[in-house]
């Protein structure tokens, strides 16, 4: 894997810095989510994606004091500045990093609240489940780090859209594009482990991709029945809503496909989860 090929050469320096800081404050686990994680997967098949200056890290954090210590070291020793109005973001003039804490720091409903003004509360439903069963290890030179798998990215985007549909419209388009390219990126996986559905290839490779992504969500959701039922509800709602479903409309626009076809994709994810 070549970081230059995902047009994020600065990621190397960011990883070096965060490894240093996390080790000093006793943080043992984190993984990359969002656009950078997606780009690392896309790079395997030279898929084109939009560039971004934002890097999102899901970080296993014990308490607010540990979280604050991370931010203090980054600002006092490594040239980062806090982003006004967002207690989870820091920037250094080249890139912005979002440190999204999960674990013991979160409440039972998945909410993380920290001190500060502006954005000081986030929802991290699904982060812990992805950490346990939905990440892949990536090695590059001296670095070994974890990224969310493409099915995990789909899951987190479904949840984030459900939390804030008015602010997360791009999540629907991102999910659509993952479904479009997943077959090419994970073709070996489909042929080796999911050959039972290959006879349906005439229906469209993204149809098969959706079913496999649903299957890949089974172990991620297996130990959290509340989250599993929520994801089933989200999918069912998008499938059954007849008119005015912005999520499906965005998918259709992104894929240039009919509404019913996009609902079929979501139904395949649902069936995969329920197998």
Render pLDDT for 237-247 as a digit per residue (tens, 0 to 9): 999 998 889 99
C-alpha distances in angstroms, 205 versus 3, 23, 33, 181?
28, 43, 25, 9
Confidence class for position 52, pLDDT limits 50, 70, 90: low
The pLDDT confidence band at residue 6, using thresholds 50, 70 and 90, is: low
Rounded to the nearest integer, the mean pLDDT of the chain is 92
Task: Identify the helix (H) or strand (E) that includes residue 135.
Answer: strand 135-140
Q: How far apart are CA 42 and CA 63, in angstroms?
A: 34
In whole angstroms, give the CA distance from residue 134 to residue 130.
4
Residue 57: the pLDDT is 97
The CATH number given to 3-148 is 3.30.460
Which of the given ranges, 1-5, 151-155, 195-199, has the highest pLDDT on average? 151-155
Residue 44 pLDDT exceeds 80: no
Which pLDDT score is estimated for 176? 97
Domain residue limits, the chain: 3-148, 155-274
Q: What is the pTM of this model?
A: 0.94
Each residue's pLDDT tens digit, 81-107: 999 999 999 999 889 999 999 999 999
């Amino acid at each position: 894997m070549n970081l230059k090929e995902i047009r994020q050469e600065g990621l190397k320096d960011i990883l070096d810095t965060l490894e240093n800081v996390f080790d000093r404050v006793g943080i043992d686990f984190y993984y990359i989510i969002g656009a950078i994680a997606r780009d690392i997967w896309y790079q395997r098949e030279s898929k084109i994606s939009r560039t971004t200056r934002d890097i999102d890290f899901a970080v296993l954090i014990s308490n607010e004091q540990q979280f604050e210590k991370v931010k203090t070291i980054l600002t006092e020793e490594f040239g980062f500045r806090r982003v006004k109005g967002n207690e989870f973001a820091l920037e250094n003039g080249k890139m912005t990093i979002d440190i999204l804490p999960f674990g013991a720091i979160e409440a039972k409903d998945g909410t993380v609240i920290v001190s500060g003004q502006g954005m000081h509360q986030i929802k991290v439903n699904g982060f812990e489940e992805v950490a346990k069963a939905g990440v892949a290890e990536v090695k590059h030179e001296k670095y070994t780090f974890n990224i969310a798998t493409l099915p995990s990215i789909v899951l987190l985007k479904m949840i984030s859209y459900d939390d804030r549909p008015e602010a997360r419209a791009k999540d629907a388009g991102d999910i659509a594009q993952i479904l479009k390219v997943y077959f090419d990126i994970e073709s070996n996986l489909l042929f080796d482990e999911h050959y039972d559905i290959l006879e349906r290839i005439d229906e469209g490779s993204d149809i098969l991709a959706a079913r496999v992504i649903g299957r890949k969500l089974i172990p991620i959701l297996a130990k959290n029945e509340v989250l599993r039922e929520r994801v089933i509800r989200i999918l069912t709602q998008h499938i059954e809503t007849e008119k005015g479903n912005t999520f499906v409309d965005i998918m259709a626009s992104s894929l240039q496909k009919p509404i019913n076809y996009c609902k079929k994709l979501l139904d395949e994810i649902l069936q995969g989860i329920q197998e």
